[in-house]
Structure 1
Amino acid sequence: MEKRSRPMAALCSGTALMNAAMAAASATATLVAADRLGAAWGGVPNTIGIVGTGIGALALTRLVRASRRRAFVLGYAAAAAGACLAALAVANGDVVGLCLGMLLLGLGNAGAQLSRYAAADLHPAGRRGFAIGLVVWCAAAGAVGGPLLLDPTGAAAAGAGLPPFTGPFLLAVLTCVLAAAAATGGPGGRAGAQGSPPPLRRLARTPAARSALAVMVTAQVVMVAVMTAAPLDMHMHGDGLGAVGMTLAAHTLGMFALSPVTGRMADRFGARPVILAGLATLALSTALAAVASGSQGRVAALFLLGYGWNLCFVGGSARLARDLPEPERPHVEGAVDAAVWMVAAAASLLSTAVLSAGGYAVLAWASCAGAVAVALGQARRRAPEAVSAPAPVEPEVGRR
């Protein structure tokens, strides 16, 4: 237990700090781009940041495979450089520089996302779901805390004679540097097999990889599409900032708060029931979002949307961490994360277009249909757990 505590603390700290940087930077980048280019282009820097996360997922698993510690330090250092570049760009009114900074921030975000797999590898098979859930839960501290510091950091920047929007990016520089420092205490074991990775076509034929990819991509697309359009639809129907804020807070709570519980469920019952529960929850939440007329119904729908995503994300990650052969695992994990984030970037751009063309109900019902279709496909698959039961839980050192 003691041997795992320090690297687990490093992984959780790095994830929380990087999520704080990304949350603060993403919110500010949207405002800067909207002011400079118009509201229709406000999401471009964030989309580029998501693309950077997809690129980073491949780069950190393929180019720096010798040591996870080195990979995470490199990713967080690149993010610190990106935050610095973005701060300079904002000070000079340079949107192109801002986008390049967000791209580099995305590389660090990829490290934070891949930390869940490093945590899983520190534990025996019967505890990997909980380890993944714990790291995802720690990300909530940054995802919630980062936006809360927007106003204080903006005021501090203005007091120093800088544009207020540079403040959150300067905060991101600090948190990324701290994340890189924390990562030096992370796991230093090998991140995968030496030599060239096996072809992705062969890895994609692995049942666990196909299943996790389908589930995690579906969950990300449904969550991003419905969540991105929700504030705009509420604003168009006269809801104030208080109602919008309450809805997004409920959604964030659903995404992160119950992650350790989800991980325990994956360890106890296997990944497949958790995944199916997640897809069912996504279908229920999107159906509720399509018919909800008041703010209370929207709050409930967005909370369920967040938790459905959590069940799919943690369950799919647990399936990869437990059911893949060790030499191939890091390559598949990186490729799946890259696909998830690339598709999320497209969903972010398309959601408002669908909202504009057909309305929120059309977007929600289409998302519901997608979740149901994937759920039916997963239900027909033979469960890996039926062939191989979950490994027994390793006893705690303190109990010996």
Structure 2
Amino acid sequence: MELGTARRRAMGALFTTVALTNTATVLTTTAGTLIAVETGTAAWSGLPSAAGVFGTACGALLAGRLTARKGRRFALLTGYSAATVGAIIAALGGIFGQLVVLLIGQAMLGLGNGAAQLSRYLAADLYPDSRKGFALSSVIWAGTIGALTGPLLIAPTAHVAAVLGLPELSGPILFATLAAGCAALASFLLPADDLNVSTAERKALPWRAIRLPVTAMVAAQVTMVAVMTMTPPQLHHLGHGLDVVGWILSAHIIGMFALAPLSGRFADRFGGRVTIACGIAVLAISTALSVALPESHTIGLPISLFLLGYGWNLMFVGGSSLLSRVLPAGSQGSIDAVVWGSSVLGSIGGGQLFGWGGYSLVAAAAGALVILPVLGGCFARRDEFRAAKPSNPA
């Protein structure tokens, strides 16, 4: 198979699996949150999301290790197979109203989501250095499909479940099972791993060589999660309905995913360091708007949440672009586990700050956190990355 054909086939498979897995994750998390409220109390509503985040972190770590040892196709197939089993378990939990069973399934589904997140590095490995940013950002963009279509599928799938005599909220999770299974099948379309640039020979790097991308990605993740998760409670506190919440979160999701290819092109043209710096600036503007206009649901918050998503995207793509050039697959998975695991800190910390001082305090603290890469002196010298870069054939 020609190199160009193999690349297109691989990118198509990666794009498809990420879109399907993200759709399944959105469906199960949304339905699981509502099931948790129905079977317990409102205080339990965050458990399905927490279980999914935990599974995602574990899945990223597992996928990285398996990729280094068995190759990308085996790693993705394992992750998506686990996700399919998890979705089935979660559906059973939804059908029989067993929250613990649902949480176990949600965590297993997260294993597939972790593999899907790591797919961006696999995409980057298929291309030379001059196109790595665009390659990995294309896979990130696939998340737009799940993020936007997932919520639209909740009502129709719930109706189908009701017609079949099942609990309505089990419908979205049953559809998620189908999506996860299709993702597992699509992973078979990946080419043999001899196409991949071997990452096994990349040696462990000193912390100073990777501290910029790692710190930037963690800071962006915590900042984004803290502000995003506290926006619905803020809007509810102001007396707005679900329509306003949905509109503002849609603006945020578009910012997170839809412009990813633009971020990738920017990273290829100007470098990951500059991309991260732009992301810091965008997140700073976003949090400043949230502090200044915490009650503006027509202008201030929609713009702020859009910029929150795009600032995260710039830092995520910029950091991933730098790491894709220097890290072996196992280390990529470990760092992804740290990044996604930090979401817990953003969620819990944001909730505590919201309770103490309201939405403006959350935004102010998040804005202070996002400049951590600068204050920590994390702008590593360019030659550290150049010296660490492996040879990469076009």
TM-score range, shorter chain: over 0.9
Give 1:234's aligned residue: 235
TM-score, normalised with respect to structure 2: 0.92
Which residue of the other structure, out of 141, 150, 166, is the alignment partner of 1:162? 166
Q: Corresponding residue for 1:276?
A: 277
The yes-or-no answer on 1:153 pairing with 2:153 is no
Per the alignment, residue 134 of structure 1 pairs with 138
How far off is 1:277 after superposition? 0.6
Please report how far the alpha carbon of residue 208 of structure 1 lies from its aligned counterpart in structure 2 after TM superposition: 3.9
Judge which range, 56-65 or 71-80, deviates more.
56-65
Letter in 2 for 1:383: R
Q: 1:109 aligns with which of 93, 108, 113?
A: 113
**Residues 281 and 137 (structure 1), Cα distance of their counterparts in 2 relative to 1, 3 Å cut:** same
Give the secondary structure class of the aligned counterpart of 2:101.
helix
1:18-69 superposed Cα distances (whole Å, 9 cap, x missing partner): 0000011111111111222211220111101101111111112224521110
CA shift at 1:141, angstroms? 0.6
Contact 1:126-1:393 within 8 A present in 2 as well: no
- 1:349 is displaced (CA, Å) by 2.7
Are residues 1:5 and 2:8 paired? yes
User: Hey, what does 1:368 align to over in structure 2?
Assistant: 367
What's the CA shift for 1:246? 1.1
Aligned partner of 2:188 in structure 1 is 184
Identical residues among aligned pairs (%): 43
Instruction: State the match for 1:331 in structure 2.
Output: 330
Distance across 2 between alignment mates of 1:185 and 1:228: 36
Q: 1:333 to 1:15 in 2, by over 3 A?
A: same
Q: Residues 313-328 of structure 1: matches in 2 within 5 Å? A: 313-322=316-325, 324=326, 328=327
**Cα offsets for 1:360-384 (capped at 9, x unmatched):** 1111100111112323445753234
2:380 alignment partner in structure 1: 381
TM-align CA RMSD: 2.4
Q: Distance in 1 between matches of 2:45 and 2:102?
A: 12
The correspondence of residues 1-400 of structure 1 with structure 2, limited to 5 A, is 1-63=4-66, 65-189=69-193, 203=205, 205-292=206-293, 293-295=295-297, 296-322=299-325, 324=326, 328-377=327-376, 380-384=379-383
Is the contact made by 1:125 and 1:392 (CA closer than 8 Å) also made in structure 2? no
SS of the residue 1:184 aligns to:
helix
Aligned counterparts of 1:131 and 1:302: Cα–Cα separation in 2: 26
**Pair 387,320 (structure 1): closer, same or farther in 2 beyond 3 Å:** closer
Q: For residues 347 and 34 of structure 2, what CA distance do their matches in structure 1 show?
A: 16
**Offset from partner CA, 1:259-290 (integer Å, 9 cap, x none):** 10100111111100000110111111011111
Taking the aligned partners of 2:281 and 2:150, their CA distance within structure 1 comes to: 31
What is the TM-score when the length of structure 1 is the normalising length? 0.91
Which whole-Å CA distance do the structure 2 matches of 1:376 and 1:355 have between them? 25
Q: Assess if the C-alpha contact under 8 Å between 1:280 and 1:375 holds in 2.
A: no
Match of 1:351, SS state, is helix
Q: Residues 339 and 76 of structure 1: is their aligned pair in 2 closer, same or farther, counting only changes over 3 Å? A: same
Distance 1:337 1:216 in 2: 9
Asked if the contact 1:57/1:335 (under 8 Å) is kept, the reply is yes
The one-letter code of the counterpart of 2:92 is L
Where does structure 1 lack aligned partners over 5 or more consecutive residues? 396-400
CA drift of 1:170 comes to 0.5
* Distance (Å, rounded) in 2 between the aligned partners of 1:243 and 1:71: 40
2: CA distance between counterparts of 1:213 and 1:391? 19
